[in-house]
Structure 1
Amino acid sequence: MFLAWNEIKKNKLRFTLIIGVLMLVSYLVFFLSGLATGLQNLNRESVDKWQAEAIILTEESDKSMNQSSLTIEDSEAIDAKELAVIGQINAVAGNGDRKTKVSLFGIREDEFIMPKVTEGKVFTEENEVIASDVLKDEGFKIGDELQLSSSEQILKIVGFTDKARFNAAPVLYGDLSTFHRVKFGEAAEVNSTSINAIVVRDDNIEAITTDDFLELMEVETFIKNLPGYTEQSLTLNFMIYFLFVISAVIVAIFLYVLTVQKISMFGVMKAQGISNGYLSRSVIAQTFLLAAVGVIVGFVLTLITGALLPSAVPVAFNLITMSIYGLVLIVVAIMGAVFSILTIVRIDPLKAIGG
């Protein structure tokens, strides 16, 4: 450590450049991890809000709630600790000044998927809805009347709730009768028992039996089958993994070049009796210091950037995930130093000093 630290102090500019590169790589890794988490939240916030273990859809729905078609009577035949029925439809909602894509959830007020209102009140009358606070950020407010693209019904916002997005769209929560009027129009009474899914809260979902035309799946499985969810996650995660490899290669190249430039010095040190082990430990210690400083600076810059970004940017930083990625970056940087260590081990003192 003594040798490593003294060399860093002597060649400040050279090692600052290495720290700078590692800082940029770690900054990009941390930001991509935040973007991956943010995009995942865009799809799953409202589902996580249920705090449920499973969901029941029709077998033919291909794990899509929008494609599933059930009735309230189907839920009555299911024996589970807690059940909640839900209807869902996608639409474009506008208040005259602005429009946005939304997902309307038809629910029962007395069931566990009823959201907690953070502003305003719960729906009590026809066509009243609780809206995701994302709409508030977009300029919608309590009292706004919403015209839906797929319906002649006018919905009124009476409250807001937090963390309520489904498949990247802010959610509107209304009662089942509101959902039926929006979806079926004049045929609402005929379809008054229609729903899209049954949400299950039960620790022992393996013991739950359903009819053959129904499919019970874990909530996590349902989320992974949301359109674009898995593809987005895989794309960003592969980018992060490639950055790990790039980080190792960059460190390897820098340290190898530095080692080659110091072959004669290492030769003199080996001729004086300094062991390969000591020199190798010095390189590893030096790499650890450089990587640690670069990762810490990148970590701090990422948090500062996240605090300055507008709410419209889907970034959410998970400190545990970022810490794990930071440790991985340090480890791969040390692995990149292996080539320099091998070079040091192979140095012949006599040849290095011109003997």
Structure 2
Amino acid sequence: MNLAWKEIKKNKSKFFIFGLIVLLISLLTFIIAGLANGLSQDNAALIKELPDGHFYMTTEAEDNYALSRISSTQQKELLKKYPNATALSIQMGMFHNAEGKQQSVAFVTTTESDIFPKVAAGEMIVDSSLKEEGFKIGDILTSNQFSGQWEIVGFSEQTKFNHAAVAFIHQEDFTEMYRTTDLQLLYLANEEVKTIDGLTMYSNKDFLNTIPSYSAEQLSLNMIIWFLVVISGMLFAIFFYMMNVQKIGLYGILKAIGVKTSTLFIMMWTQMLLISAIALSTSLLLIQLFQNFAPQGMPFHLTLNTTLLFAAIFLIIGFFGATLSGLQIKKVQPLQAIQQGEI
């Protein structure tokens, strides 16, 4: 530890550059991870916030919930057979208030359930993000698809779908709007029934992947995140490789006076962990500040667990990258290294 710290103080600029690189790459990774999670929440918070369970849609729909149709007769049979089940439908649409302001939403209707908000005919509960658009409790809303009107009676948290706020409406209103009593999905919370005639089962995660916009979005962003992680590992290896090449003579002298190879590895690991820990701690602080002061409309969501996970991954990759580059230390022959000249 003492030897590692002495070298850091002697070569401040080299280690500062290394720490700065780790800081910038980790910060960029955290920002993209936050945007990926934020877009994920903005796209499918309605599904992600549900308790563990399983969705069921008609097999003929071929993984497209919009094409799924569960008849009212089958609904009644299934709801009677499975008390924890909820039938629901999701349809994109829009409404406007008394001032004529239009708002795109995802209309959701469900059978009676403790999981989803309860509304009466003519009432609506909308996602709290619409508060920023000027909507408030008591507002009267209308739609070209609906002959009546709704009154906003409450706001729900974390209920967005397909990047639109969710609007919960009564089944009677939904039936008038979309001219059908058939609902699209069956949801069983905290329960798994592997076989239901005519229906295909999906876990919450599997159902998310049937949403085209969600799967395409997350795949692209996750590829960028892991590409940055791979780059960081390569930078760790390259940096320590160059450092070790420059210190071949020093390693030769240290080996000649009896310093063990394991001690040299410990010195290198200590330097890597110390610089990385400082850089990652600074990056974590900056990303928390960014999250607190990010614009309200930016879909940014990064939990502490996620940041700590990525920090741990960076440290592990750094350890292996440094170890890989340090294998040349083992091959150093004291006399040959000294003849190459000291640093």
TM-score normalised to structure 2 length: 0.89
Cα-to-partner distance string for 1:6-35 (whole Å, 9 max, x where unaligned): 111222222111111101111122222222
Structure 1 residue identity aligned to 2:208: I
Q: CA RMSD in A?
A: 2.3
Aligned with residue 108 of structure 2, among 89, 105, 113: 105
Structure 1 residue identity aligned to 2:185: A
Counterpart residue number, 1:210: 196
Contact 1:81/1:202 (CA < 8 Å) preserved in 2? no
Question: C-alpha separation between the residues in 2 aligned to 1:102 and 1:275?
Answer: 67
Contact 2:268/2:322 (CA < 8 Å) preserved in 1? yes
Question: C-alpha separation between the residues in 2 aligned to 1:227 and 1:151?
Answer: 28
Question: C-alpha separation between the residues in 2 aligned to 1:61 and 1:89?
Answer: 15
User: Given the alignment of the two structures, is residue 289 of structure 1 paired with residue 284 of structure 2, yes or no?
Assistant: no
Which consecutive residues of structure 1, in runs of 5 or more, have no partner in the other structure? Answer: 116-121, 185-190
How far residue 101 of structure 1 moved from its aligned partner, in angstroms, is 2.2
Counterpart residue number, 2:167: 172
Counterpart residue number, 2:89: 87
Deviates more, 1:91-100 or 1:9-18: 91-100
Counterpart residue number, 1:144: 139
How far residue 163 of structure 1 moved from its aligned partner, in angstroms, is 1.1
Cα-to-partner distance string for 1:275-299 (whole Å, 9 max, x where unaligned): 2221122111111111122112111
Structure 1 residues 133 and 6, CA gap change in structure 2 (3 angstroms): same
Counterpart residue number, 1:201: 189
Tell me, what secondary structure is at the counterpart of 1:77?
A: helix
Question: C-alpha separation between the residues in 2 aligned to 1:265 and 1:328?
Answer: 31
Percent identity reads 28
Counterpart residue number, 2:59: 59
Tell me, what secondary structure is at the counterpart of 1:195?
A: coil
User: Which aligned pairs between 1:28-47 and structure 2 lie closer than 5 A?
Assistant: 28-47=28-47
Tell me, what secondary structure is at the counterpart of 2:124?
A: strand
Tell me, what secondary structure is at the counterpart of 1:105?
A: strand
Contact 1:81/1:201 (CA < 8 Å) preserved in 2? no
Counterpart residue number, 1:270: 255
Contact 2:51/2:190 (CA < 8 Å) preserved in 1? no
User: Which aligned pairs between 1:1-355 and structure 2 lie closer than 5 A?
Assistant: 1-51=1-51, 53-78=53-78, 79-95=81-97, 96=99, 98-108=101-111, 110-115=112-117, 123-124=119-120, 126-148=121-143, 154-184=149-179, 191=180, 193-206=181-194, 209-212=195-198, 214-354=199-339
Tell me, what secondary structure is at the counterpart of 1:194?
A: coil
Deviates more, 1:47-56 or 1:268-277: 47-56
Question: C-alpha separation between the residues in 2 aligned to 1:260 and 1:223?
Answer: 49
TM-score normalised to structure 1 length: 0.86
